[in-house]
Structure formats: C-alpha cells, structure tokens
C-alpha cells in the first residue's frame, strides 16, 4: 500500500488551461514537499509546507496543505509547455531515528502548445 496517493497519475492538457494535482494519505506528516522532475534529471524542490491549512504561491503555482496535515494539492493556473514534467509530493515523518521522506508515485503532466 502506497503511503502517499497522487492523482491523477497522468494529465495531458492544452496551454492556458488550469489543473489541480492531489496528494492524499491516511498518515500525518511533519511537512509536505512538492518536487518537479524532468527526464534524465533528479527532482527539484518547488515548495515545503509545514502548517496545517497553509497556502503557498509560487507564480502560477498554488500549494495547499490540509488542515489535518494528511493531504496536499498543487494548482497550476494557465499552464504552459514549460510546466511539463513529473510532479512528486513527498511527506516527511520524524520519530527519533525514523526520519525519512516518502514519495508518491507522481503525476506526469504534459502541456501541449
């Protein structure tokens, strides 16, 4: 069972459209991070959210952390071809020696010109 469920798994849209990607879990996280990965490269950190209910904006990207710190969403406004990539959410848990970052399987976004 995947600790973090991302949906949708694949998304293909036209330039200018809006979209939302979801990241859900039954576990509580100390923080939730979003990454974007392009082919042949490692993931690149977009944002870290820490407080339940927190909303962060990064240009056309809006990230929200659920009140219970179990889920998160990423909303992109007016998507552009440069937004194409694999979007990954990752939850951080810590308990003494049990620190680790667990990743969802990702949402592969394709924005067509």
Max distance between CA atoms of the chain, in angstroms, equals 48
Q: Using CB under 8 A, which of 13, 20, 22, 50 touches other proteins?
A: 50
- Assess contact for 23 and 87: CB atoms under 8 A: no
Q: Does 62 bind other proteins (CB under 8 A)?
A: no
Q: Pick the closer one to other proteins by CB: 12 or 94.
A: 94
Stretch of residues binding other proteins (CB under 8 A), selected from 16-24, 26-34, 64-72, 75-83 = 26-34
Binding to other proteins by residue 102, rule CB under 8 A? yes
CB of 43 to other proteins, least distance (A): 5
Strands 107-112 and 10-14: parallel
Residue 81: helix, strand or coil by DSSP?
helix
Q: Are 36 and 43 in contact (CB under 8 A)?
A: yes
Nearest CA to 52 among 75, 23, 32, 22? 32
Q: Beta strand pairing status for 5-7 and 55-58?
A: unpaired
Shortest Å, Cβ 36 to other proteins: 11
24 binds other proteins (CB under 8 A): no
Question: Using CB under 8 A as the criterion, which residues of the chain lie in contact with other proteins when the complex forms?
Answer: 30-31, 33, 35, 40-45, 48, 50, 88, 90, 92-94, 97-106
């Amino acid at each position: 069972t995947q600790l973090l469920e991302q949906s949708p798994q694949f998304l293909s849209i036209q330039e200018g459209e809006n979209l939302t990607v979801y990241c859900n879990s039954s576990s509580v996280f100390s923080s939730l991070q979003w990454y974007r990965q392009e082919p042949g490269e490692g993931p690149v950190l977009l944002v870290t959210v820490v407080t339940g209910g927190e909303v962060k904006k990064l240009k056309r990207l809006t990230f929200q952390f659920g009140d219970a710190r179990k889920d998160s969403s990423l909303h992109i406004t007016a998507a552009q071809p440069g937004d194409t990539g694999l979007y990954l959410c990752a939850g951080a848990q810590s308990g003494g020696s049990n620190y680790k970052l667990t990743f969802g399987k990702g949402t592969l976004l394709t924005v067509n010109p």
